[in-house]
Amino acid sequence: MKTILGLYNYWIVIFLMMTGFYIVISRGNLIKKVIGLNIFQTSVFLLYITIGKVRGGTAPILEEGVKVYSHPLPSVLILTAIVVGVATTAMALALIVRIKESYGTIEEDEIRERDVEREA
């Protein structure tokens, strides 16, 4: 019981990670792939934040009467990782726009078909 409830954050991380990963692998629609990628990355953000959490701790702001702080460094790291994630998403969406312009579709198998047609 304790392993399930006491570590529920980690279970959510694993669930999100697998969900995102599955979407990336199984979906042929490029936008859905990007969404899956985002969920996958978000799970890692949650993992880092969970690592830094101290039970009963507050935000790391210096104030009288507060003795226990959460570890601020993982949150700072994740801020950087979120920026990287945003950049990746922007890059992916930009590519999808260009793919749509030149292929007229964003389905993976249709893109492949059109390339084969061109060659034939």
Residue with token string 């890692």? 44
Q: Can you state the angle between helices 30-52 and 72-103, rounded to 10 degrees? A: 180
- 58 and 66 Cβ atoms separated by less than 8 Å: yes
Q: Does 69 bind another protein (CB under 8 A)?
A: no
Q: Does 102 bind another protein (CB under 8 A)?
A: yes
Binder to another protein among 7, 54, 82, 87 (CB under 8 A)? 87
Smallest distance, another protein to C-beta of residue 108, A: 8
Helices and strands counted in the chain (H then E): 5, 0
Cβ neighbours of 8 (radius 10 Å): 11
Cβ neighbours of 20 (radius 10 Å): 20
Q: Does 99 bind another protein (CB under 8 A)?
A: yes
Q: Which segment (1-9, 44-52, 53-61, 62-70) binds another protein by CB under 8 A? A: 44-52
Instruction: List residues near another protein by CB under 8 A.
Output: 21, 24, 30, 33, 37, 40-41, 44, 47-48, 51, 74, 77, 80-81, 84, 87-88, 91-92, 95-96, 98-99, 102-103, 108, 111, 115
